[in-house]
Structure 1
């Protein structure tokens, strides 16, 4: 039964959100196409990142918790991760944005983005010898700069707040993946490649990695959803 652990994590991450997608007051199912397109576009980059890191031993997977099928050197469960996690996050964003006014004042959002960019750049410099830390902080700084200053999106503050709301679920899912409650982690990290600071069993870089991934999913979801309406 242990070989279904990662698969079960993906399933239970998505199933409640999927069911409520058909609720008459939510109707998220109307945007399944926009979500799938956005998640596939974003997954291409993150899977390439994942493949490279796995091939170079930055992280690796415990076969005890996997069904044994791999593609591009990654467990099939890891590929599903890039659909299931974004689905629950984008769905939650869609619901909260639909029923609550969560927009930030432009001046506050701008200060938040600038501080976040500077913080990521400083951390990238400080931990430039840690490949996971360096790549994560650099690409997140780049993401914030491009989304806010080039693409002119106006929802980064709102998305950041919702990501914070999602943090308990993130900690639960990533906690199990990194070993919380298990005899050994599903995903293992090379100690020399990340800072070493963890929330429970979760490397702090994972929270930033997830934040960056969700921002890009939201950007393309907005884009493809808008295309649907035209």
Structure 2
């Protein structure tokens, strides 16, 4: 039964959100196409990142908790992680923005983004000797620069606030992956590559890594969702 641990985590992460996607008040199922396109595009660079870090030993996986099926030397559960987690997060973002107004987060974005960029750059520069740390914080800074100053999206404050709410789910899910409640972690980290600062059992870099993944999923989801809506309207004419 231990070999089903990671796949069960993925299943539990997505199942409730998937069921409620068909609720008449939500109808997220109508946006599955936009989500799949966005999640696959975002998953590709993250899987490459994952593959490389696994190859050089930044992290590795405990076979005790895995089915034993691998793709690009990554557990199939790890591949599914890049679909399941974004689905739950995008679904939550979709629901909250559908039923609640977050106008006040515009001011939050105005100050949060430049502060986050500065902090990310400082951490990346100071800890250049720690690959996971410097790459994660560098990618975070670059992503915020692109989305805020170049693309000029207006939802980063809102997404950041919702991501904070999602930490309530992030902590138990990533906590189990990193060893909470288990005899040994499913995902193990090599100390020289990261800060070794943990939230419970979770490396702080994981929270930043997850944030970057989610904001790019939201960006592409919004983009594809808008495009699909235009196509549907033109088809109905």
State the TM-score, normalized to the length of structure 1: 0.99
Deviation, 1:107, is 4.4
| Number of the residue aligned with 2:207 | 207
Alignment deviations for residues 167-200 of structure 1 (CA, whole Å, 9 cap, x no partner):
0100000000000000000000000000010011
| Number of the residue aligned with 2:89 | 89
Contact 2:106 / 2:158 at 8 angstroms: preserved in 1?
no
Deviation, 1:102, is 1.2
Instruction: Describe the SS at the equivalent of 1:179.
Output: coil
| Number of the residue aligned with 1:152 | 152
| Number of the residue aligned with 1:54 | 54
Query: In structure 2, how many angstroms separate the alpha carbons of the residues matched to 1:48 and 1:9?
Result: 22
CA-based RMSD of the aligned residues comes to: 0.8
Alignment deviations for residues 186-219 of structure 1 (CA, whole Å, 9 cap, x no partner):
0000000000100110000000000000000000
| Number of the residue aligned with 1:11 | 11
| Number of the residue aligned with 1:168 | 168
Query: In structure 2, how many angstroms separate the alpha carbons of the residues matched to 1:86 and 1:107?
Result: 26
Where structure 2 has 5 or more consecutive residues not aligned to the other structure, the ranges are 231-237
Query: In structure 1, how many angstroms separate the alpha carbons of the residues matched to 2:56 and 2:103?
Result: 41
| Number of the residue aligned with 2:222 | 222
Deviation, 1:104, is 3.5
| Number of the residue aligned with 2:234 | none
Query: In structure 2, how many angstroms separate the alpha carbons of the residues matched to 1:200 and 1:156?
Result: 27
| Number of the residue aligned with 1:27 | 27
Query: For structure 1, which segment, 108-117 or 147-156, has the greater mean C-alpha deviation from structure 2 after superposition?
Result: 108-117
Query: In structure 2, how many angstroms separate the alpha carbons of the residues matched to 1:68 and 1:90?
Result: 29
Deviation, 1:165, is 0.5
Deviation, 1:106, is 3.9
Contact 1:103 / 1:157 at 8 angstroms: preserved in 2?
no
Query: In structure 1, how many angstroms separate the alpha carbons of the residues matched to 2:132 and 2:176?
Result: 20
Query: In structure 2, how many angstroms separate the alpha carbons of the residues matched to 1:191 and 1:222?
Result: 37
Contact 2:106 / 2:155 at 8 angstroms: preserved in 1?
no
State the TM-score, normalized to the length of structure 2: 0.96
**Moved >4 Å (runs of 4+):** none
Deviation, 1:146, is 0.2
Instruction: Describe the SS at the equivalent of 1:24.
Output: coil
Query: In structure 2, how many angstroms separate the alpha carbons of the residues matched to 1:106 and 1:94?
Result: 17
Deviation, 1:109, is 1.5
Query: In structure 2, how many angstroms separate the alpha carbons of the residues matched to 1:108 and 1:176?
Result: 32
Alignment deviations for residues 103-161 of structure 1 (CA, whole Å, 9 cap, x no partner):
34544412210000000001101111000000000000000000011111000000000
